A and B are shown apart, each in its own frame.
Chain A
Amino acid sequence: MGRQGAAVTSFFKKILGQPSAALPDWLKSQQDLKKSFDPKLSIGQVDFVAFDTELTGLDFKDDAIISIGAVKLRGATILPGKTFYRLVKPECELKRKSVVVHELTHSDLECAEDILDVVGDFVKFAGNAVFIGHFVHIDLNFVNKVLQQNFGVSLKNSAVDTATLHDWLYENDIHFARYHKGMTTQSDLFSMARKYGVEGGKSHNAFSDAYITAQLFQRFVSFLPECGVKTLKDLLKVARP
């Protein structure tokens, strides 16, 4: 990401106040994360947060976050009691297409909150965990966009990508390909969920997608020890976003 010095327009400065002048506590402690980061931890000891965002679209400039869903893991163990799901009050018009996909309309979002509150709480929820996402760079970019606009900083957490991890396993672990009788040609979350027998929730929203991502991660991790991937450092090498 590394967008520390991204230009902040005077317009944003005017309505949002000076960036980085006073970072709130939750973001300040976040920025020191690298110091406590221990790449030698075995994967089973690492705290992860699998997350997904819903967006009005994929255009980085015009589109924005509609909702964020997340679930915590300790190693490959999902902790279903530790979840996060919040809706964001829309700033730009909801595009017709995403209304169809997510079935969220303006009226649904009436109970939604300000984007900064949601992102703030999400960052607090995640703490110093390592993020897991499917094509996670997209979601991270949108979260960081909010942080950049408001404070001129980005998240410091490490992240692993389930799409990358899947491709790597397919290339490098013969058991994996054989076990799953070949690879899925489609790498979108739902094709993969179907292929690997992961049940989604009843609805398609940021939370159920995050939950599916967590379960895919769980499946893939079971193949890693035999490939010599044991520590967080090893994992980051093969599942880099």
Chain B
Amino acid sequence: MLQDEIIDFFQNVLPFDRLSREALGDMVSDIAMEYYPKGEQILKQGGPPIEFLGVIKRGGVKVYQISENDEEVVIDLRSEGEHFGMLSLISGDRSRNNVVTIEDTICYQVPKKTVLAVLQNNPEVNDYFLKSFFINLLDKTYEETRKAYSNGTTGEQLLFSTKVKEIVRTEPRTVSPDISIQQAAIEMATHKISSLIVIDSTGRPVGMVTDRDFREKVVAEAKDVASPVKSIMNTPLITIDAEDNCFEALLRMIRHRIHHILVLEGRKLKGLLTNHDFMLMQGSSPTILVKEIGQIESIEELQDTAPKFYRAVSSLLHHGARPHNITGLITELTEKITNTVISIFEKENGKPPIDYTLFYYGGAGRRELTLSFRVSMGIIYSDGASSQLQAEADNYFKLLTGTINRSMLACDLTGKKQCIKMDNIQGASFWQEQFSKWGTGAGTGREAGFFDMRPIRGDHKRVDSLRQYLLNRAAQYKGMMEAIVADTLQVSPPVAFFKDFVVEKGGEHKNKLNLYDKGIKPLADCARIYGLEKGVIHRSTLGRLHELKSMHGFRIAEDMAQAFGYLNGLLINNQLRQAEEGEKPGNFINPDILTNFERKTLKESFKFIARLFEEIEGNYWGGKVLP
């Protein structure tokens, strides 16, 4: 009956799958089942230790820490069949992480004593728990290290190159070996700490005592508390020299299955290193990349820029950056490159015959580029030049366009796509005329991305006033909005899932899903439609959504922002994975490599977009877009 169902469930949960059905039956007899609504905090960092192991039956939780700079560092997202609280449960002193539900969550709670009994009786399960934390960490950091070394860049501060003394922070409490057990206990109680280092008269560490020693060697054996502390201390000590590299320290901790390691300078105690310290290690810094791009003097030097992008993004991700921080950075760096290229061009070809402004539009305009770099640009030049001057200018722009397109290709940042087309180089009045035709039928060159145009180089006013013209026209002319809405609704979000997904049926991207076209772009388009309706000036999707919510009480905007962030995060992670495997990062994702949790969230996001579309369609044909 119910117990059988629960046993079936645990047979698919690592590492309980290694237990026999009988053993699971025993385990299940005293478990509990708890429900936590979305957003509930189950564990608090530094708070009391957990009394059970939480195994997620349905839903998901976020495991994170608050760093010393008050930043949230996400350690993991756990979903169905995964568990949380093991570290806190084993250590028994305090909770290491915050655990918060990110959706309505049902958990089985396995009581602490049951977990400990299972660990004791099943060495292979024990091994799993002791290893997993480190191995996961190691895999991540090792990958980073490997990449850094195979590409040979500078500015990395990583496991191999960082010395232990550079990251050791904790100054542990020390006592002499001859004080009594009781004095030692008082010392620990006063300073609210769980361990003490015992040092001899020369300052050399000789042993360590922890909470556990007091339980196991003093209380349980009714030992006299007046005995010297050295009679219960642990020896020998596992230590590492301050001059050794961090990788060696991590290896030694893994080998001895400990979470703390003593750092010695010569023979003297320098400090204590914990696994937490490794997580706080800094990765490669994007600021170095910005500096490098600024110093480039020829287009040839732009080659191999892409891998540097990947590393910078990877490092940011590992340090908990949000997707919009990352798309912002990618766009910023792309702008830097564009400007550098044009400066180089001007050195060789002189100043332009007539004034112009270069702008980005679409994703680049919104500062939402991902590692697939679909940059779209255009140029607005001054009207009223003489025909001779205009001919000169046409020639100049043709050369400039060629150079920009070639450079972007050289950086390996755009693939085959041209980022600037000759059609997009026009005088201000021509652009305006073009926009005035929008909405009168097909083939008017309508592209909603132009609403997001943003000046990059040259007089900003040209772009700003053209954009204002477009915004005004959208507000006044219903036919234009109708056309934009109709364009948006062309895409159908993949909501009918075969097994779990609808993917491309053939071609190069067979069995893959275009995350940008089917998910991210529709969300950006919807945000733009709502924004235009309410006269929101912001270009960025999140900016639009934020204003819709705060100024117009538009409740759905928050969900839209979350889905948008999630999809971008998923896409960028996937792009990094593609880059690691030597592929060119694109917008397609192979659903097979996603975890259950990711798949489920993705599915929900598409369903959400489909609902948005329905709403827009419904409200739109009533003559209004907003409800």
User: Measured between alpha carbons, how far is A207 from B3 in the docked complex, in Å?
Assistant: 12
Chain A residue nearest to B555 (CB atoms) is A178
Q: Is the CB of A218 within 8 A of B35?
A: yes
Q: Is the CB of A77 within 8 A of B109?
A: yes
User: Measured between alpha carbons, how far is A79 from B33 in the docked complex, in Å?
Assistant: 6
Interfacial chain A residues near B108, Cβ < 8 Å:
80
A129 contacts B by Cβ under 8 Å: no
B218 contacts A by Cβ under 8 Å: no
| A interface, over-half SS | mixed
B440 contacts A by Cβ under 8 Å: no
Interface residues on B, range: 20 to 34
Q: Is the CB of A78 within 8 A of B5?
A: no
B37 contacts A by Cβ under 8 Å: yes
Q: Is the CB of B2 within 8 A of A77?
A: no
Interfacial chain A residues near B5, Cβ < 8 Å:
201
Q: B2's contact among A179, A197, A211, A219, by CB below 8 Å, is which?
A: A211
Within 8 A of A (CB), among B265-304: none
B185 contacts A by Cβ under 8 Å: no
B544 CB to closest chain A CB, in angstroms? 24
Chain B residue nearest to A214 (CB atoms) is B33
Of B24-32, B472-480, B529-537, B571-579, the segment with at least 4 beta carbons within 8 Å of chain A is B24-32
Q: Is the CB of B35 within 8 A of A80?
A: no
Q: B34's contact among A71, A76, A197, A211, by CB below 8 Å, is which?
A: A76
Q: Is the CB of A219 within 8 A of B3?
A: no
State whether A207 and B1 are in contact (beta carbons under 8 Å apart), knowing that A77-B33, A77-B109, A78-B33 are contacts in the complex: yes
Interfacial chain B residues near A199, Cβ < 8 Å:
58
Q: How does the 8 Å CB contact mask read for A206-241 relative to B, with 1 for contact and 0 for none?
A: 010001000100110010000000000000000000
B125 contacts A by Cβ under 8 Å: no
Q: Is the CB of A219 within 8 A of B31?
A: no
Q: A215's contact among B3, B31, B35, by CB below 8 Å, is which?
A: B35
Q: How does the 8 Å CB contact mask read for B27-52 relative to A, with 1 for contact and 0 for none?
A: 01111111111001000000000000
Q: Is the CB of A207 within 8 A of B35?
A: no
A83 contacts B by Cβ under 8 Å: yes
Chain A residue nearest to B36 (CB atoms) is A222
Q: Is the CB of A81 within 8 A of B34?
A: no
Q: B3's contact among A74, A81, A179, A218, by CB below 8 Å, is which?
A: A81
State whether A78 and B32 are in contact (beta carbons under 8 Å apart), knowing that A197-B104, A222-B37 are contacts in the complex: yes
Within 8 A of A (CB), among B1-23: 1-3, 5-6
Q: Is the CB of B35 within 8 A of A83?
A: no
Q: Is the CB of B1 within 8 A of A81?
A: no
How many residues on the A side are at the interface (Cβ–Cβ under 8 A)?
20
Interfacial chain B residues near A207, Cβ < 8 Å:
1-2
A214 CB to closest chain B CB, in angstroms? 9
B508 CB to closest chain A CB, in angstroms? 39
Interfacial chain B residues near A222, Cβ < 8 Å:
35-37, 40
Chain B residue nearest to A221 (CB atoms) is B35
Interfacial chain A residues near B31, Cβ < 8 Å:
79-81
Interfacial chain B residues near A179, Cβ < 8 Å:
37
A85 contacts B by Cβ under 8 Å: yes
Q: A80's contact among B2, B37, B58, B104, by CB below 8 Å, is which?
A: B2
B619 CB to closest chain A CB, in angstroms? 18
Q: Is the CB of B35 within 8 A of A219?
A: yes
Q: Is the CB of B32 within 8 A of A79?
A: yes
User: Measured between alpha carbons, how far is A83 from B37 in the docked complex, in Å?
Assistant: 25
Q: How does the 8 Å CB contact mask read for B493-528 relative to A, with 1 for contact and 0 for none?
A: 000000000000000000000000000000000000
User: Measured between alpha carbons, how far is A197 from B104 in the docked complex, in Å?
Assistant: 9
Interfacial chain A residues near B30, Cβ < 8 Å:
81
Q: Is the CB of B35 within 8 A of A81?
A: no
Interfacial chain A residues near B36, Cβ < 8 Å:
222
User: Measured between alpha carbons, how far is A199 from B80 in the docked complex, in Å?
Assistant: 14
B3, B28, B32, B40 pick with most chain A CB within 10 angstroms? B32
State whether A74 and B37 are in contact (beta carbons under 8 Å apart), knowing that A81-B3, A83-B3, A201-B5 are contacts in the complex: no
B370 CB to closest chain A CB, in angstroms? 32
A51 CB to closest chain B CB, in angstroms? 14
Q: Is the CB of A77 within 8 A of B37?
A: no
Q: How does the 8 Å CB contact mask read for B555-578 relative to A, with 1 for contact and 0 for none?
A: 000000000000000000000000
Interfacial chain B residues near A78, Cβ < 8 Å:
32-34
Q: How does the 8 Å CB contact mask read for A187-207 relative to B, with 1 for contact and 0 for none?
A: 000000000010101000001
A48 CB to closest chain B CB, in angstroms? 13
User: Measured between alpha carbons, how far is A78 from B58 in the docked complex, in Å?
Assistant: 15
User: Measured between alpha carbons, how far is A64 from B330 in the docked complex, in Å?
Assistant: 71
Q: How does the 8 Å CB contact mask read for A49-80 relative to B, with 1 for contact and 0 for none?
A: 00000000000000000000001001011111
Interfacial chain A residues near B6, Cβ < 8 Å:
80
User: Measured between alpha carbons, how far is A189 from B6 in the docked complex, in Å?
Assistant: 23
State whether A80 and B34 are in contact (beta carbons under 8 Å apart), knowing that A201-B5, A207-B1, A207-B2 are contacts in the complex: no
Q: Is the CB of A76 within 8 A of B35?
A: yes
User: Measured between alpha carbons, how far is A215 from B109 in the docked complex, in Å?
Assistant: 15
Interfacial chain A residues near B58, Cβ < 8 Å:
199
User: Measured between alpha carbons, how far is A215 from B36 in the docked complex, in Å?
Assistant: 11
Q: Is the CB of A80 within 8 A of B109?
A: no
B382 CB to closest chain A CB, in angstroms? 54
Chain B residue nearest to A205 (CB atoms) is B1
Q: Is the CB of A85 within 8 A of B35?
A: no
Chain B residue nearest to A203 (CB atoms) is B1
Interfacial chain B residues near A79, Cβ < 8 Å:
31-33
Q: A85's contact among B1, B28, B106, by CB below 8 Å, is which?
A: B1
Q: How does the 8 Å CB contact mask read for B79-110 relative to A, with 1 for contact and 0 for none?
A: 00000000000000000000000001010110
User: Measured between alpha carbons, how far is A79 from B110 in the docked complex, in Å?
Assistant: 11
User: Measured between alpha carbons, how far is A80 from B25 in the docked complex, in Å?
Assistant: 12
Within 8 A of B (CB), among A92-109: none
Interfacial chain A residues near B34, Cβ < 8 Å:
76-78, 218
State whether A201 and B35 are in contact (beta carbons under 8 Å apart), knowing that A81-B28, A81-B29, A81-B30 are contacts in the complex: no
With A80-B6, A83-B2, A222-B37 already in contact, 14 other A-B pairs whose C-beta atoms are closer than 8 Å: A71-B2, A74-B32, A76-B34, A77-B32, A81-B28, A85-B1, A179-B37, A197-B104, A201-B2, A207-B1, A218-B33, A218-B34, A222-B35, A222-B40
Nearest 5 interchain pairs by C-beta:
A78-B33, A81-B29, A218-B35, A77-B32, A222-B37
22 cross-chain CB contacts under 8 A: A71-B2, A74-B32, A76-B35, A77-B32, A77-B33, A77-B34, A77-B109, A78-B32, A78-B33, A79-B31, A80-B108, A81-B3, A81-B28, A207-B2, A211-B2, A215-B35, A215-B106, A218-B34, A219-B35, A222-B35, A222-B36, A222-B37
